[in-house]
Amino acid sequence: MKFVIEPRRIAAGQGPGARRSGADARTVAGWGMALVLSLMLASCGSGQPPADPAATQATAAAVPESAEAPAAAPLPPALDELDAGGLRERAARALREQRIHTPAGDSAVDYYLALRDKDPGQADVAAALTELQPYVVIAGEQALADADLGESQRLTGLLARMDPQAPALPRLRAGLRTAQAAQDQRTREDSERAAAARNDAATLARTQAAQRTAAASAALKAQANASANAADEAAARASTPAAPVPAPPAAAQAAAPLPAPKPVAAKAMPRLIADASPRYPLVAMNRKLEGSVEVAFTIQPDGRTGAARVVSAEPAGVFEDAALAAVARLRFEPSGDSHAARRTLNFKLPQR
């Protein structure tokens, strides 16, 4: 069911101070009752909310529905620069073009409010604002249902200017507060989810970096152990005595016996010329832990150490790095040969 505002009845183009006849006053009052009745019938008869007047294509001059809607007029100059007659003319034009409450500043309601401020006490202006209130209420509720809080707030403010005691005003304001609180809650939840996602991503990145570091450390330790094993095997082969010469056959025993070979003396370990004490780990000291680490290493021909590896540690995972660092600082007397060696480093808390 469609209804059309009749601008010629709301604003008859009367200038400021003009008198309305008794018949004209009765016409305005009768039109107001008819408009309210049509709004009630439209909302109850069809089962759906009344159509937005701004979307209606019919005008007071009964323009056919197939006709093209008139183009929106450009924004007028400041309302306070227009006299009462100009405001009435623009209000009537806005009604003809179905610009009841939009756009902001160029609607019939805006012009009637400006006219009421400029020329208070006009009965026809008060009646027009009263009859236009349902349109503002419906549009404000529709904007609220569409979650357009800015438009609903503007229309609620417009209704408050039209009538601060409007019955629908508390309902619109309560709906706005509820919708704004829900929107703020959604914004907070979105922010919290985004922050949690960023924290999860940062935690994952740190975990992956730690895993890569652990893998690289394990690879280095495996390489060091392989080198130490190779050095131990080489040193063992170098220190193994030569196999005895087999006895000559019986035919050669009659000949003069050959001198027996001299046994190969085992190589003496080089002399330690620079010892190194391990540094007590701060974590172990804070936890009051003691322990020991056995390290196998190779004494190189120039007296330095190399290919150090941990043979055993008690407790595990506490003193190994400090023990390896101490072995790396050991210096032996150069012997020109490689020697396999082992050393046990004890970690004892200082006595107070």
pLDDT 10s digits, 157-176 = 999 999 999 999 999 999 99
- The vertex-55 CA angle with 53 and 60, nearest 5°, equals 55
The answer to whether 18 touches 73, Cβ cutoff 8 Å, is no
Q: How far apart are CA 139 and CA 145, in angstroms?
A: 10
**Adjacent-strand bridge partners of 342:** 296
- pTM for the model: 0.39
User: For 223, what's the count of Cα atoms within 13 Å in the CB-facing half-sphere?
Assistant: 6
Q: How far apart are CA 339 and CA 258, in angstroms?
A: 34
The answer to whether 138 touches 17, Cβ cutoff 8 Å, is no
Output Rg (C-alpha) for the chain, integer angstroms: 51
Q: How far apart are CA 33 and CA 131, in angstroms?
A: 9
The residues of the chain scoring below 50 in pLDDT are 1-5, 7-9, 11-75, 251-252, 254-255
Element (H, E) at 73: none
- Tens of pLDDT along 209-252? 889 978 887 787 778 677 667 766 765 565 555 555 555 555 44
**Adjacent-strand bridge partners of 295:** 310, 343
Say what the pLDDT of residue 159 is. Answer: 94
The answer to whether 299 touches 339, Cβ cutoff 8 Å, is yes
Cα 278 from chain centroid?
Answer: 48
Amino acid at 213: T
Take residue 211 and report the two structure tokens written for it.
Answer: 């895993």
Say what the pLDDT of residue 16 is. Answer: 32
Q: Which DSSP category does 102 fall into?
A: -
Element (H, E) at 259: none
Say what the pLDDT of residue 73 is. Answer: 39
- The vertex-103 CA angle with 98 and 109, nearest 5°, equals 65
Say what the pLDDT of residue 249 is. Answer: 54
Say what the pLDDT of residue 239 is. Answer: 52
Cis ω on the peptide bond leading into residue 315 (within 30° of 0)?
yes
Q: How far apart are CA 317 and CA 291, in angstroms?
A: 11
CA dist 7 to 93, 99, 132, Å?
Answer: 8, 11, 11
Say what the pLDDT of residue 78 is. Answer: 58
Helical H segments across the chain, by residue range = 7-10, 22-45, 84-96, 108-118, 123-145, 149-162, 168-239, 250-253, 282-286, 320-328
Tell me whether strands 331-332 and 339-347 are parallel, antiparallel or unpaired: unpaired
93 Cβ partners below 8 Å, 6+ apart? 73
Place of tokens 């941990």: 310
How far apart, in Å, do the first and last CA atoms of the chain sit? 100
Q: How far apart are CA 50 and CA 62, in angstroms?
A: 19
Say what the pLDDT of residue 351 is. Answer: 81
